[in-house]
Chains A and B, each alone.
Chain A
Amino acid sequence: MTITDLPISSLINKLRNKEITAREVIENYAKNIYEKEENIKAFISLDIEKALKRAEELDKMDEKKGLLFGVPVAIKDNMNVKNCETTAGSKILKRYISPYNATVVKKLKEENAIIIGKTNMDEFAMGSSNENSSFFPTHNPVNYDYVPGGSSGGSAAAVKGEEALAALGSDTGGSVREPAAFCGIVGLKPTYGLVSRYGLIAFSSSLDQIGPLTKNVKDSAIMLNAIAGFDPHDETSVNIKKEDYTELLGKEIKGKKIGIIKEVMEFNIQEEIKEELNKTISTLVKLGATIMEISIAHLKYALPAYYIVAPSEASSNLSRFDGVRYGLTLQGENLTSTYELTRTEGFGEEVKRRILIGTFALSAGYYDAYYLKASKVRKMLANEFEKAFETVDTLLLPTTATTAFKLGEKKSPLEMYMSDIFTIPVNLAGLPAISVPHGSDKNGLPIGIQLIGSWFKEKELLQIAYAVEPG
């Protein structure tokens, strides 16, 4: 067993017992990076020198404090890291150096994690394959011909490729869970408001949530311990009591009620994924849980509602990239042409498409028919989930309907949008959900099983996830 095989808790134990040094940890991960990064292309920026320096500082500390002491982490490139390039995967922010730390980054640093680099992503988190990155696509470490998923594809690939022990991603419609499923790792999307969004470059503010990508469920819980909590800089963050998310891991789940969503099973799902889902059900039953069928009647409206809400908010959030204060500037003959040149050149196709959709949906005369209606669908969905959680503890469903696809395989935007069909409803309702790797298909591509919990019930959600996680 090498150092890069170790999960977070074992690694920290070895560091604390001085069996290994933080420098050795970074050197081992650096070795993987040198060997694999050329093929994976998980990172937009890497600073191994800085990571090594930080590791040496940690090694000099007498007290090995911090929940993530010496843990090499990768940060999705839409989170601000002070004095580092922060691009959100977009040409419009190329070479933009951030003057401040996102709250999550600050928290990771406080827990003595070592930031090793910033990961590739679909531009402004718009995409499900990482092919929408302005710079280059990331490859799935399981099979380089396949996409790692998106938009946190770089983060998922970095963890799967053992280029980092854990990573942060952001999940607006499945952007943590889908790549986790495609790469065969654990991806958690916390309840909206549990983790501060301050310093996360907004895609869709009412849907975005930062979550960890890790080797296993326990690491996920440890990462959540580090990043969760109220932040006075984010008015949408919720002030609730601090919890230990590892507390219930391994506790028996006898008597838990697990819901299967009737409407999900009506979709076209890859056979092997259905099989893994059934295996999960058997495991749960064996552990004493009860399986129940429940209905989320408006589930099929989630995708269209999402593609109104998210682009609408995005069209506004992306207005600040105008070439005036930072990022790319292409000077035109006047102000309007400067805007046009800069934004035409700086944004990619998918981003432009969503800005156009969003701008249209918010226009006078269309607002009621689109944005307002989509908001109503959201409310209805949330109500249906609320009702479901009156009878069940957790919902079980696939993370995706298919396993990873090949780079360049999906042509139309609509085809791509369908990748997130099972993850999107969770964001619309603001719920927590986790994708746990469970087996693989005939091509050896990983399969992800998704569990959805009730609002702020991450502890219980992680408990079930831990129970179904293959040993």
Chain B
Amino acid sequence: MNEYKPTIGLEIHIQLDTKTKLFCGCSSQFGEKPNTHICPVCLGLPGALPVLNEKAVEYGIKLGLTLNMKINKESTFYRKNYFYPDLPKGYQITQYTIPIASEGFLEIKTEKGKRKISIQRGHIEEDSGKSIHTGDITESTYSYIDFNRSGVPLMEIVTYPDIETAEEAYHFLVLLRKTVRYLGVSSGDMEKGALRCDVNVSLSKSNTMGTKVEIKNLNSFRSIRKALEYEIKRQTEMLKNGEKTIHETRHFDEKTGATKPMRTKEELNDYRYFPEPDLPPLLLNETFIEDIKNSLPELPVQKEERFIRQYSLSDAYAYEIASSIELADYFESIAKATGKPKEVANFLMGSIMKFLNETEKTISEIDFDEKKFIEFLSLLEKGIISKGIAKEVIVESLKTGKSPKKIVEDKGLIQITDENKIEEIVQQVLKENPEAVSRYLAGKTQVLGFLAGQVMKKTKGKANPQIANKLLTEALNKIKQ
């Protein structure tokens, strides 16, 4: 047991998925040609002024409410002043003294149980442009700047240093990402920069706070977990050896899995915050907030619990299915239409998920709708197809878009239930496998499985397994007598 207790805090930037930027009408679409979504406002041209995007405010409130935060009816925008080439105005418009949302929590579930992680604040701000350096930042002789990202709305969520393990930090982030996706306020894609996270961690023996170390360059949840694990170990060892940790910013190296002090000197920045004179205070009325509250969807954890209750799904299936709103919606509509939630869950988590993973598609990209699912389950239920064939039918339908019935007809996959036909094949199998037959007769009844497999092979899996088993046993018993 580690005698030093880690204290971890997260600062998460979430890109709000609005059509236009925070203060101008430019598209906030990601991945377009550089510098195509720009205008006087987001380029910081002389004389241009910001106009607040109401949708971003709505999304911010949605997220704030979901994270159990208080929505401040009056919040203010501030200017955070610093020079950087990708910051066109020389200041970032952000919130400072009074953010749009404050004091909340998110309840996470780990192996150790449930825990509430407290959140200090959530504020709306604009993103900067993107610097593209040639080579290493410290040696780069010139850089490119893409202003498409300049002015894209962000919500920054700051937790209290409430998190105690790398595992908890990971779970917090996974749940937060799930939540923003559920709300439809952000894609939450870390690789696209729609979710960015800085962490700070300190260790201490008693209840006093240790020395805070910040970690940057964390590009995936996995990196965050690894960086934290590394950092906790590093600091523990230092403290055990009687060394002191220093307040610093460290860089995570993906390749080595280690954190290193930042090479560039962290300048002591005085951001000279002051109220943004171009924007009046943001005033929100009760009904606006209330309307948003009433429009909030069911959240991942609630949905998961309901799936277990309502459809008797296993914990694992409920968790998996509820992890994505698209998957959950798909499951629920099919489960309702077919009235067979368990079967639907089985095929969804089995063949369908496998297909999605292999083809790198999402559930919304496939065409296996209610009608097809009903048709499919009824083929199975009526014994027209076997369970083994069923998987093949689903995959074929996912690939070609053909209906299950059509596939079964075209490929002649209909189950053989004709006892005479199966009897014929049983006799063939017994003739071709005298050794197995004699072993069976000698009391090794487990060979029955092998023989049954041979029957299935000969019928390309189409023989009804129950009938095949029955006829095989009967035939063998006849020989015995």
A→B interface (CB under 8 Å): 78-80, 86, 88, 93, 96, 98-100, 102, 197-202, 204-206, 232-236, 312-313, 315-316, 318-322, 324-326, 335, 339, 359, 362-364, 367, 371
Q: Is B34 in contact with chain A by the CB < 8 A criterion?
A: no
Partner of A234, one of B49, B81, B88, B89: B49
Known A96-B46, A235-B51, A319-B91: A205·B277 in contact at CB below 8 Å: yes
CB pair A322–B45 under 8 Å, yes or no, is: no
Q: Closest CB of chain B to A21's CB: distance in Å? A: 34
Q: Which residues of A contact B89 (CB under 8 A)?
A: 319-320
Secondary structure type dominating chain A contacts: loop
How many CB-defined contacts (below 8 Å) exist between A and B?
Answer: 100
Known A316-B81, A339-B83: A232·B44 in contact at CB below 8 Å: no
Sample (29) of A-B pairs whose CB atoms are under 8 Å apart = A80-B46, A80-B47, A86-B47, A98-B45, A102-B47, A199-B47, A200-B47, A202-B278, A205-B277, A205-B278, A232-B51, A234-B51, A235-B278, A312-B274, A313-B274, A315-B272, A316-B274, A319-B90, A320-B89, A320-B90, A321-B46, A324-B85, A325-B43, A326-B45, A359-B272, A363-B270, A363-B272, A367-B272, A367-B273
CB pair B274–A371 under 8 Å, yes or no, is: yes
Chain B, residues 85-117, CB within 8 Å of chain A (1/0): the string is 100111100000000000000000000000000
Q: Closest CB of chain B to A29's CB: distance in Å? A: 26
Chain B, residues 35-65, CB within 8 Å of chain A (1/0): the string is 0000010011111111110000000000000
Q: Closest CB of chain B to A471's CB: distance in Å? A: 39
Q: Is B177 in contact with chain A by the CB < 8 A criterion?
A: no
Q: Is B79 in contact with chain A by the CB < 8 A criterion?
A: yes
CB pair A322–B90 under 8 Å, yes or no, is: yes
Q: Which residue of B lies closest to A313 (CB)?
A: B277
Alpha-carbon distance A79/B239, docked complex (angstroms): 61
CB pair A233–B88 under 8 Å, yes or no, is: no
Known A235-B280, A316-B272: A197·B49 in contact at CB below 8 Å: yes
Alpha-carbon distance A91/B329, docked complex (angstroms): 61
CB pair A322–B48 under 8 Å, yes or no, is: no
Alpha-carbon distance A326/B90, docked complex (angstroms): 13
Q: Which residue of A lies closest to B280 (CB)?
A: A235
Q: Is B279 in contact with chain A by the CB < 8 A criterion?
A: yes
CB pair B44–A320 under 8 Å, yes or no, is: yes
B→A interface (CB under 8 Å): 40, 43-52, 79, 81, 83, 85, 88-91, 145, 270, 272-274, 277-280
CB pair B46–A201 under 8 Å, yes or no, is: yes
Q: Closest CB of chain A to B35's CB: distance in Å? A: 11
Q: Which residues of B contact A321 (CB under 8 A)?
A: 46
CB pair A316–B90 under 8 Å, yes or no, is: yes
Partner of B51, one of A201, A233, A364, A367: A233
Q: Which residue of A lies closest to B84 (CB)?
A: A335
Q: Which residues of A contact B79 (CB under 8 A)?
A: 316
Q: Which residues of A contact B52 (CB under 8 A)?
A: 235
Q: Closest CB of chain B to A383's CB: distance in Å? A: 18
Q: Which residues of A contact B91 (CB under 8 A)?
A: 316, 319
Alpha-carbon distance A99/B40, docked complex (angstroms): 8
Q: Closest CB of chain B to A423's CB: distance in Å? A: 19
Alpha-carbon distance A220/B84, docked complex (angstroms): 43
Q: Which residue of A lies closest to B86 (CB)?
A: A324
Alpha-carbon distance A93/B88, docked complex (angstroms): 15
Partner of A206, one of B46, B48, B85, B277: B277
**14 more A-B residue pairs beyond the given contacts A236-B279, A322-B90, with a C-beta to C-beta distance below 8 A:** A98-B45, A99-B40, A102-B47, A197-B49, A235-B52, A235-B279, A316-B81, A316-B90, A316-B274, A321-B46, A322-B85, A335-B85, A339-B83, A363-B270
CB pair A235–B88 under 8 Å, yes or no, is: no
Q: Which residues of B contact A367 (CB under 8 A)?
A: 272-274
CB pair A235–B50 under 8 Å, yes or no, is: yes
Alpha-carbon distance A322/B83, docked complex (angstroms): 8
Q: Which residue of A lies closest to B276 (CB)?
A: A205
Closest A-B pairs by Cβ, 9 of them:
A319-B90, A362-B272, A206-B277, A205-B277, A201-B46, A199-B47, A320-B44, A324-B85, A201-B47
Q: Which residues of B contact A371 (CB under 8 A)?
A: 274
Q: Which residue of B lies closest to A206 (CB)?
A: B277
Q: Closest CB of chain B to A455's CB: distance in Å? A: 15
Q: Closest CB of chain A to B96's CB: distance in Å? A: 11
CB pair A198–B270 under 8 Å, yes or no, is: no
CB pair B90–A364 under 8 Å, yes or no, is: no
CB pair A86–B44 under 8 Å, yes or no, is: no
Q: Which residue of A lies closest to B41 (CB)?
A: A233
Alpha-carbon distance A362/B47, docked complex (angstroms): 22
CB pair B88–A320 under 8 Å, yes or no, is: yes
Q: Which residue of B lies closest to A200 (CB)?
A: B47
Alpha-carbon distance A200/B46, docked complex (angstroms): 8
Q: Closest CB of chain B to A123's CB: distance in Å? A: 13
Q: Which residues of A contact B49 (CB under 8 A)?
A: 197-198, 233-236
Q: Closest CB of chain B to A190's CB: distance in Å? A: 17
CB pair A198–B47 under 8 Å, yes or no, is: yes
Q: Closest CB of chain B to A402's CB: distance in Å? A: 31
Q: Which residue of B lies closest to A208 (CB)?
A: B277
Q: Closest CB of chain A to B311's CB: distance in Å? A: 49
Alpha-carbon distance A197/B47, docked complex (angstroms): 8
Q: Which residues of B contact A102 (CB under 8 A)?
A: 47
Q: Which residues of B contact A205 (CB under 8 A)?
A: 277-278
Partner of A319, one of B40, B83, B270: B83
Q: Which residues of B contact A235 (CB under 8 A)?
A: 49-52, 278-280
Alpha-carbon distance A99/B46, docked complex (angstroms): 10
Q: Closest CB of chain A to B426's CB: distance in Å? A: 82
Q: Max chain B CB contacts within 10 Å: which of A80, A99, A235, A318?
A: A235
Q: Closest CB of chain A to B87's CB: distance in Å? A: 9
Alpha-carbon distance A359/B82, docked complex (angstroms): 11
Q: Which residue of A lies closest to B23 (CB)?
A: A235
Q: Which residue of B lies closest to A371 (CB)?
A: B274
